[in-house]
Amino acid sequence: MKSERTAFTHNWIDLLAVLPALFFITAALSKAVHPFVFLSEFDNYSLIKSLDIKAVVVLIIPAVEMFLGLSLCLKKSYFAPVLLIVLLLTFSLSIFLGLPLGYLERCGCLGSEELSPAFALVKNLILILLLILAVTFRKNIPERRNPWGAFTFILGGVLGGNLYLLALLIAPVIIISKCKQKHILSLIGGLILGIIFHHLQITLLILPFAACLYYLILVIQAPGHKLQPIVISILVLMITGFYLLYPATPSTSKTIFKSGATLPDYFIHEKQSQSPGSDKKLVLLLSPDCQTCQLWLPVAQSISQRKNLPVLVGYAPQSQTKLDRYRNEENLSIPVFSANAMLFEENVNRTPLLLYLEGDTVRHVFEEGRLPSIGKLEEALNEYDE
C-alpha cells in the first residue's frame, strides 16, 4: 500500500516538470516548421527594429526551447527548469512591453496557434509555478519514465505526415540510445497517436496534455543520453533555417488563392472582416517588410484611384494596429486589414499578389511579385463583365 502511494506521488511530481517540458517541445516544433508565422507575430512586439536580428532570434528560439524541454524531460541538466523559468519571465515581460504599443493581438508563443496575450500570460504563470514546484520536488524521484513516446506523440501532432522531418528527428533517439524493441514500439505508438491528433485538427494546446497521459502509461525506464537534446536541437535549428531560406512553395492544387476558390472566413481576423466596397473587389496581398511591395505601392495607389475599377483592399499578416500605423507612414489611401498569418504563409509564395473577387469567390489571380498595369488590369476584368 505504501509503495502504491509512493508511486502515485512520484507520478504527479514527475508531471510537474514533464508538462512544461512538453509545452516547450510543442512550441519549438511549431515555430521551426512555420518560421515566417513566428516572425510575423514576433514583429508585432516592436521590440527589435533590425529585420536581420529578428530573423536570428526566430532561428535560435525554437532550438533553445527544444534543448531545454528535452533536457528537463530526461533530467540531464539541473539548470534546465531554472532557464525555462527565465525564458518564461522574458516572454511575459515582452508581452507587457508590447501591449501598451497596441500592436500585439496574438502572442506567437505556440507558433502557428493563435493565442491572445492575456491567455499567454496566464499560461506562462501556470508553467512557472509548475517549474518552481518541479525544482523543489522532482530531484527526489529515483527513476525516469520513457519520455520518447511522448516526444514522438508531439512530433506526429505537429508535423502530421511529413515523413522526412519525422525520420530526421526520430533517428537520433533510436541511434544514440540503441533502443530495444519495447522502446521502439513506444515510439511508434506515440507517433501514430500524434498523427491521428494532427489529422483531427485538434488544437496544439491539447497536445502536451495528451502526450503527458501517454507518458504516464509508459512505465519502462528512459534510455536517455546527454547527446540527444543537443543533436535534436541542432536539427531543429537546421530545419528552422531551411524554412527561412527556402520557404515552401504553395501547391497550386491546394492553395486557396486560385480561380474559383472561396476565400475562407478565418483568413481575415473577425474584427477586421468588414471591408468597404461592393460585391466585386480587388484584393492586394502584401507584407509591410517586403521591399518589392514598397516598389509597387505607387501602382496600387493608382489602381485604387480609378473609379472604373472595383475597390482595392489590402491584407497583410500583421496586427491591425501596426497596419494602421503602416498606412499612415506610407500615406496609403488603401484600407489594409490583418490576415491569418498561418494561411498567408501556406498560400502566398511571393508578394505583392493581386486577386479579383466576386463576393468571397476568387475569379482571377494575377502574377505574383508584381502588379499589372492599369491597361492589363482593365483588359482582364472586362473579360468577366462580358
CATH code of the domain covering residue 281: 3.40.30.10
**d(C-alpha 208, C-alpha 20), whole Å:** 8
Same domain? For 271 and 237 the reply is: no
Same domain? For 238 and 98 the reply is: yes
What was the pLDDT predicted at 8? 47
Same domain? For 93 and 182 the reply is: yes
Does some domain include residue 107? Answer: yes
What was the pLDDT predicted at 252? 47
**d(C-alpha 115, C-alpha 124), whole Å:** 12
CA 86 to chain centroid: 22
For 318, the 3-state DSSP assignment is: coil
Extract the runs of DSSP E, i.e. beta strands, from the chain. Answer: 280-285, 311-316, 336-338, 353-358, 361-365
Does some domain include residue 257? Answer: no
Does some domain include residue 256? Answer: no
What was the pLDDT predicted at 276? 45
CA 370 to chain centroid: 27
Same domain? For 273 and 234 the reply is: no
Q: Within the chain, which residues score under 70 in pLDDT?
A: 1-11, 46, 76-77, 98-106, 112, 138-145, 176-182, 219-226, 247-256, 265-278, 384-386
Determine contact, residues 109/120, Cβ cutoff 8 Å.
yes
What was the pLDDT predicted at 273? 43
**Nearest-5° angle of CA 69, CA 35, CA 91?**
50
CA distances from 158 to 40, 193, 381 (A): 19, 12, 41
Does some domain include residue 259? Answer: no
Same domain? For 143 and 33 the reply is: yes
Same domain? For 158 and 231 the reply is: yes
CA dihedral 203, 208, 212, 213 (to 10 degrees): 0
Same domain? For 215 and 289 the reply is: no
Does some domain include residue 251? Answer: no
Same domain? For 213 and 360 the reply is: no
Q: Residue 301's domain spans which residues?
A: 265-385
Total structural domains within the chain: 2
Same domain? For 216 and 322 the reply is: no
**d(C-alpha 267, C-alpha 281), whole Å:** 16
Q: pTM of the prediction? A: 0.73
Same domain? For 173 and 228 the reply is: yes
Does some domain include residue 260? Answer: no
**d(C-alpha 3, C-alpha 243), whole Å:** 49
**Nearest-5° angle of CA 112, CA 117, CA 119?**
90
- Extract the C-alpha cell encoding 147: 519520455
Determine contact, residues 350/374, Cβ cutoff 8 Å.
no
Does some domain include residue 255? Answer: no
Exposure of 323 in the CB half-sphere (CA atoms within 13 A): 22
Same domain? For 19 and 115 the reply is: yes
Among candidate residues 217, 245, 273, the one where a domain is terminated: 245
Same domain? For 178 and 73 the reply is: yes
